[in-house]
Amino acid sequence: MISMDFALLGIKYDRSQTFIKGASRAPEIIRNILPKIETYVSGIELTDRAFFDDLGNITPRDNSDLINQIFVVLSRAKGFPLIIGGDHSVTYPCAKTLDPGYVVVVDAHPDCEEGEGHDSVVRRLIEKFGKDRVLLYGVRSMSKKEKEFIEKNEVKIVSLRDLERLKGNVYLSIDLDILDPSIMPLVGNPEPDGLKFGEVVDIVKILADRLVGIDFVEYTPTTISSRDVYTSIVGKLIYASIAEIIKAKE
């Protein structure tokens, strides 16, 4: 029976244009809910098996500062990087710092627009790593320009079977709009016909033995009275992912 060290980093960043703002508030709110939810998950008691090097929260001023701060913090981190965003912009500097064999982005959108916003992160990842090392899963909505970019550059939108066959280290980014809005409405750009909670956990389970880092982004908590309900769902997804990673590393 093994235990694992996790490096927990919150990134309070929400600078790019989105349908609903507020992702910068997510790290603090998620941190507050984690001690309140069950820690016995998928046969693993996390308090016995998961140990956290809490790196705190960072609040970058702009994209340049975002890249610099993440590089400094993650380069010194001990343990498996566990990132809580923040909008999807945070994925690029995290993946750039960790330099995995593949970046798998689980997202309702391809995020292949131009610019440096949350909706261009996959495009920038492809420019950095190349089209064969950046894989999309779960895309169900895109602009015409994104479709043209995907076709021209042969961007890979993959199946679960494709993920099973991957060989090499993987950085996984989970945009919470992958979940159906009936489960998770508090995201920057909600889309109908999303995945169920267990289907997202299955993706983590498939990749868990190859993961070198994971982020959870685009949670956009509001002041509505039911916010704690949705925050607990995010927390449970984080704990479920930790449990699958520990089991896979065994």
194-232 confidence digits (pLDDT tens): 999 999 999 999 999 999 999 999 999 976 556 788 999
Question: Does residue 236 have a pLDDT over 60?
Answer: yes
Tell me if the bond preceding 86 is cis, omega within 30° of 0: yes
CATH number at residue 84: 3.40.800.10
Structure tokens at 126: 């492809």
Considering the entire predicted model, what is its pTM? Answer: 0.96
Q: What whole-number distance in Å separates Cα of residue 35 and Cα of residue 30?
A: 10
How close are the terminal C-alpha atoms of the chain, in Å?
Answer: 7
Boundaries of domain holding 84: 4-249
Number of domains in the chain: 1
Extract the runs of DSSP E, i.e. beta strands, from 59-142: 80-85, 102-106, 134-137
Share of the chain above pLDDT 70, in %: 97
